Amino acid sequence: MRTPVGIECPHFYGDYHRGRNHEECQLLASSDPPQNWQAELCKTCPVPGILRANSCKNMRLNAQVTRLVFDLFKRRVYVSAFCEKTLKSVEKPEIGCGECHPLPPIFEVKK
C-alpha cells in the first residue's frame, strides 16, 4: 500500500472505507515495545528501500523510533534486521546476511 509520502510499503496500512481515515505502520505496531507512528516518519523511513534491495524471506525487520542527538524535535525510524535461517544479526539489511543467497560462481573472484 502507498504511504502518505507516495512510496510503496508492505507494512503501511490505511483504512479509508466509508469515510474512515485510519492509518498505521504495522512494523512499528508489532515492535517490542509498540511505537507510535506519525505520517512524517514515512519521509525518512529506510524500510521501503531495504525491501526493494533485499527480499529475503528469512530476514525479519525490527523498527524503533529514535530522536536525533542534535535535533531533539526530529524523529526517525531506525531499523535492525535478524536472519532466522542463520540466527544472526544482519549488519546491512540492504545486502543481507550473505549466507541465505550466495553469489553465483560467475561473480566469484578466483585467486
Residues 7-36 pLDDT 10s: 999 999 999 888 888 999 999 999 888 888
Pairwise CA distance, residues 111 & 102, whole Å: 18
Could you tell me the residue ranges of all domains in the chain?
12-97
Show the cell assigned to 104. 553465483
C-alpha 77/C-alpha 62 separation (Å) is 10
Q: Residues 34, 28: contact at Cβ < 8 Å? A: yes
Taking the chain (111 residues) in runs of 10, the rounded mean pLDDT of each run is 90 89 91 87 94 92 87 86 94 89 77 73
pTM, to two decimals: 0.81
Check residue 111 and give its pLDDT: 73
What number of CA atoms fall less than 13 Å from residue 29's CA on the CB side?
8
